Structure 1
Amino acid sequence: MPVNRPVILLVHSDAWKAAELRGEFDVWCEGDLDVLTVPSAQFARDVIGKQKEDVDDWLAIVLVEEDLPDTKGEDFLRELHDDYKGTALALLSDRQETGSSPAAIISPSSSNFGCMLDRLFLNWHPPISQVMVSGARNTVQADDLAHFLWLNRVSSKWRNTSGPLTVTVNATKAEIREPTWVQLYEGLGIVPELKHDPYSHDYDLVIIGSGPAGLNAAINAGVNVGLSTLVIERRAPGGNAATSINAIENYLGFPRGVAGRSLPKLAFRQIQEQNLDVDFRLSAEAIAVMRGDGDRYVIKVRDRGDDHSVSAGMVLLACGLNPKKLKLTKPAIPVRGVYYSALPCDQYRERNKRVAIVGGGDSAGQAALLFSRGRASQVLLIAKEGLGDMGRPLRKEVEADERITPFPQHEVAAFTGDEQLTGVRVKKAGDRLRDAADYEVSSAYVLIGGDPDTDWLNDGDVEIDRTRRGFIRTDAYLKPRRGRGSFETSEPGVFAAGDVRVNSNRRVSQAAGQGSAAVASMQRYAAENRHILVYDDSAARIQLDISSLTDDE
């Protein structure tokens, strides 16, 4: 068996249970790792012994059932621990860790199983990891880098030093000092290479935002219409869905659910394998939409500090939401320790610490359970409007958890600490600051929803009809509606999809569906306005010609 990717080795004598677990692993690792199953310790030894490569280079995780046909699971793990120091080891059991086991003990029936696998992967220490990191671990930049490595499942080794944060990509020996996410995406080859110069090519479609709506629209625009497409993203691909704590369970084609962080990687793979004419510019921030020549548009962007123009026949606004900020009585916020998203990898940093969650919706409830299961000593759940917006089953689970202390109808009045957060001041909603109580916490996670990322549209000469809060009105929400295509805004040829659109219910599957449906409207719009497609021999023109011939028949 040639080894091209890291391997999870599952040692389990029950073929049915092994097949079920393998399915769980396949969903969790998203194709980034190979999964091998063997029925006994001896079979596992044979598989390992046949490889010419150093075992620590490729064997990432070994999971073993308690009672194997030929030995005890713990005894076999002890044997592996002695021989392969870099491999992460785990015993599959529902019993509690005792400290005497040579490996982690994880329960396949736990709702936290995926997070346990994350931790195992982070504990894998191959001799040659994908990246080598040097720099201090206790900084904002280090937290940000840890999030990136977790979201993209990049194996790493970290030297805790006093110098500037530096990432070395081992495959290319490229060294990135004080890296941004954009530099890491490019340096690690995660994002497909550009097919065109984005600032000289005339695109058929420009998509602002790469969440589920934008990604699905990009793929459909390439497959169904042949549109030459540029996706502009100023943060990270995947949008808010990429930071989802729980698996997305209502997404077509994933019976066991799909991790939100998987969506951009799967989209990139689909675009590359189908050779679609789709470019991504992750370093660019859209700052205005302007009218261009011949009913086309010009997107003004800021890229690495410089201003540029992008030419577009059509525009899709899929720019999503920005996290809401707290309005504090004392507005100063420490440099480190206050976060506006919670990722599964954060639970390891908060083990045996007290943390605060601000918010009363599902995201706040899921984060509270995440940190409780990750063994935070206490989780303060501070909800100004109470827990009424939280789903009933989730709320019951939160209220029954002994580590979670809800503070309904309370709010954060102030954060304490200068560089590092040291505590929160909590008071009843409507009370004065002097009535607030002080609580020491290591971190605070503010999860109170978001506002549409549309303020930048004010700086262009294209007026897009929006609500007072900034959500974009389309088709049925416009007056008059006549002549509007589905998901078309008040401006012809400009469409909107996903959370930024008025009355969105903020579901991943709905956003993806809107992205696909918007492309169908774009196809009709392009057929009626072919002059917006600059290149006569483009795939889009050819497909439209074929469609018109079919329609005539």
Structure 2
Amino acid sequence: MTKPTILTVDDDPGVLASISRDLRSRYGRDYRIVQATSGAKALDVLAEHALRARPVALIATDQRMPGMSGVQMLSQARQHVTDAKFLLLTAYADTDAAIQAINDVGLDYYLLKPWDPPAERLYPVVDDLLGDWRQEHPPDAGELRVVGHRWSERSHEVKTFLTRNHVPYQWLQIDRDDEARRLVELAQAGPDDLPLVLVPEGEPLRAPSNLELAGALGLRTRAEQPLYDLCIVGGGPAGLAAAVYAASEGLRTVVVEREAPGGQAGQSASIENYLGFPKGLSGADLAHRAVTQAARFGAEMLLARDVVALETRGPVRAVRFSDSGELEARAVLVASGVSYRRLEGPGLAELAGRGVYYGSSASEASQCQGDEVYVVGGANSAGQAALNFARYAKRVVMVVRGKQLEDTMSLYLVAQIRAKDNIEVRLQSSVVAARGDGHLAAITLCEQGSPPHEVPATWLFVYIGASPRTDWLGSGVVRDPRGFVLTGQDVQSAPTPSPWPLARAPFALETSVPGVFAAGDVRLDSMKRVASAVGEGAMAVYLVHRYLATT
């Protein structure tokens, strides 16, 4: 594979030589370091790379250059490289322009000159940017192959599981690819065997469950210890934050996740209002960083395990899995989050996974190249998805029940949506039916003041409501009528038959079962924001310490 390019741009020969030298000394083994002495010459270099299909991983440019500034050059660079990381080298006086460039040209980071010593000021930034680029461009994407049908619900689930767990794969579509049909024939597979997952070493997996798939890929699915200090059910922002803090403070910690780390936030294409990331970051990136951080401190992560019951066994709490396995812990944190509410209406249930999807991973947007996409919902998750789809789709139609976006969506997202020419917002509207023979072909819209009418549609993504995953808790853990978990003072005011059993008051995030805590979206009256979920996860560990000290 051709080495990816790092392009450095500066009109000052001394500065250009210095930045190129520093980058070459650390990254020259894996990247080509190419220089340009002006913005115009940099664009010529990028045009040549595009013509020769040479990947460009990073453009590091000075801001103050005659004829064309760094930001002006980067704004035109997107014509040649759609996915390179942008790094602006600037003086303190130009920081306002750099911050504006985050919105205007998708600047990833700006660095004040000078950057000495590079080991402290330059390399950590570039390591981060190149790490993100490498994650988006895995070199071994062809090792694992998935053969399936575009309109297969299980094929969609397998691809989503692999994507969200950062497992690179090659997708082969049975109705379009000759190679897909050849592989199915070689495996002697029938329609019920799809999707067929071909692993580099081992037998083909025929329509595997997530647990079977995780086991074949070497992902951890079984606990290593008989007893833990803390079992965290759910690997979203709240659960991952709790894992980091608990493990770093010496608690034997395990996280049980039924799908993939990140929860609903893990599917977000861009979280732009999370503290410390001015450019924003994807939910997948946030989850990946958090998992790595938790693992560094010794937390275990069990994947593809569905918790179906909670039991109290004296001082120990046990969680049981759907396959009859279980694990025990001295305390449990419920951070199982919420799932999107299902649309109701003729045809919608039958076409789930066949054109009707609930949530999406950021990478799915590229599958909608040149198509029309309908997005249902008016909260931040819907807005982020609409902006992501708009990068590829011919048109994105947002179907919003409310009277205005500002009622349910952050203003920065509203502004971005209104600035997109290919996003249309239909307020006071809903999807009431769907039609298709094997896959989605049309939906029925109901808009205030107009009779229901059908429109052609092959992509419908739904981001509405919040259904907490709490059925597994049983009657001992008090919940409200919608299933959200009561904690702290709300527990004491809850009606019988589950009164608080101890003389002390429940801790702030403690449920009606002592030693069982709840954090994040699953908790009653939580803020439904990533930052608040992370805060609650950290706070829960402090309360777990207090609980364990009393038992």
Partner residue of 2:321 out of 275, 281, 301: 301
The aligned residue for residue 257 of structure 2 is 233
Other-structure match for 1:450:
466
| TM-score when normalising by structure 1 | 0.72
Q: Is contact 2:146–2:169 with CA below 8 Å preserved after alignment?
A: no
Cα deviation, residue 157, structure 1: 3.8
Establish whether residue 394 from structure 1 lines up as the match of residue 413 from structure 2. Answer: yes
- Which residue number corresponds to residue 466 of structure 1? 479
Alpha-carbon distance in 2 for matches of 1:308, 1:491: 22
Aligned to 2:524: 502
Any conservation in 1 of the 2:444–2:453 contact (CA below 8 Å)? yes
The answer on whether the counterparts of 2:220 and 2:302 sit within 8 Å (CA) in structure 1 is no
| TM-score of the superposed pair, with normalisation by structure 2 | 0.72
State the shift of 1:448 in Å: 0.9
299, 306, 329: which one aligns with 1:312:
329
Contact persistence 1:63–1:89 (CA under 8 A): no
Pick closer, same or farther for the CA change 1:151–1:120 going to 2, 3 Å: same
Is contact 1:411–1:427 with CA below 8 Å preserved after alignment? yes
**1:457 and 1:192 mapped to 2: Cα distance?**
21
The verdict on how the C-alpha distance between 1:479 and 1:463 changes in structure 2, with shifts beyond 3 A counting, is same
Q: Please state how far the C-alpha of 1:283 moved relative to its aligned partner.
A: 2.8
Q: 1:323 to 1:242 in 2, by over 3 A?
A: same
Q: Which residue of 2 is the match for residue 245 of structure 1?
A: 269
Task: State the partner residue of 2:234.
Answer: 209
Aligned to 2:307: 286
1:266 counterpart (268, 272, 289) = 289
Match of 1:369 among 356, 377, 387: 387
| 2:426 aligned partner | 407
The amino acid that maps onto 1:420 is H
- TM-aligned CA deviation for residue 447 of structure 1: 0.8
> How far apart are residue 370 of structure 1 and its match?
2.0
Flag the 1:122–1:512 CA change in 2: closer, same or farther, 3 A: closer
Indicate if the aligned counterparts of 1:361 and 1:389 stay in contact, CA closer than 8 A: yes
Q: Structure 1 pair 8/511, CA: closer, same or farther in 2 (3 Å)?
A: farther
Counterpart of 2:44, as a letter, is K
Looking at structure 1, the residues matched to 168 and 3 of structure 2 have their Cα atoms a distance apart, in angstroms, of: 13
User: CA shift at 1:521, angstroms?
Assistant: 1.3
Aligned match of 1:379:
396
Distance 2:133 2:441 in 1: 30
- Judge conservation of contact 2:477–2:512 (CA < 8 Å) in 1: yes
The corresponding residue for 2:533 is: 511
Residue type of the alignment partner of 2:235: S
| 1:447-504 Cα deviation digits (max 9, x unpaired) | 113121112223xxx5112222121111122326852222111111111111111110
C-alpha displacement at 1:443, in angstroms?
0.4
**How far does residue 333 in structure 1 lie from its aligned partner after superposition?**
3.4
- CA shift, 1:38, in A, is 3.9
Residue 331 of structure 1 and its aligned partner are, at CA, apart by 5.0
Which amino acid letter does the alignment assign opposite residue 45 of structure 2?
Answer: G
- Extract unaligned runs of 5+ from structure 1: 20-36, 52-57, 530-553
Local SS of the residue matching 1:214: helix
1:440 aligned partner, one-letter code = P
- AA paired with 1:476? Q
Matches within 5 A, 1:153-192: 153-159=166-172, 160=177, 161-162=180-181, 163=184, 164-170=194-200, 175-189=204-218, 191=220
Summarize the Cα distance change of 1:174–1:247 in structure 2 as closer, same or farther, 3 Å threshold. Answer: farther
Q: Give the number of aligned pairs.
A: 469
Match of 2:145 among 133, 142, 147: 133
Cα distance in 2 for partners of 1:117, 1:437 equals: 48
The superposition leaves residues 18-55 of structure 1 with CA deviations (integer Å, 9 ceiling, x where unpaired) of x9xxxxxxxxxxxxxxxxx7489xx98x999x86xxxx
Q: 1:144 to 1:10 in 2, by over 3 A?
A: farther
Q: What is the percentage of aligned positions where both structures have the same residue?
A: 28
Residues 1:223 and 2:248 are matched in the alignment? yes
Unpaired stretches in structure 2, ≥5 consecutive residues: 60-72, 87-100, 109-128, 185-193, 494-499
1:65–1:187 distance in 2 versus 1, CA, 3 Å: farther
Does structure 1 retain, via aligned residues, the 8 Å contact 2:347–2:435? no
Distance 2:542 2:343 in 1: 39
**Contact persistence 1:414–1:424 (CA under 8 A):** yes
Q: CA deviation at 1:315?
A: 1.5
> Which residue type is aligned with residue 221 of structure 1?
A
Structure 2: distance between partners of 1:71 and 1:393 = 31
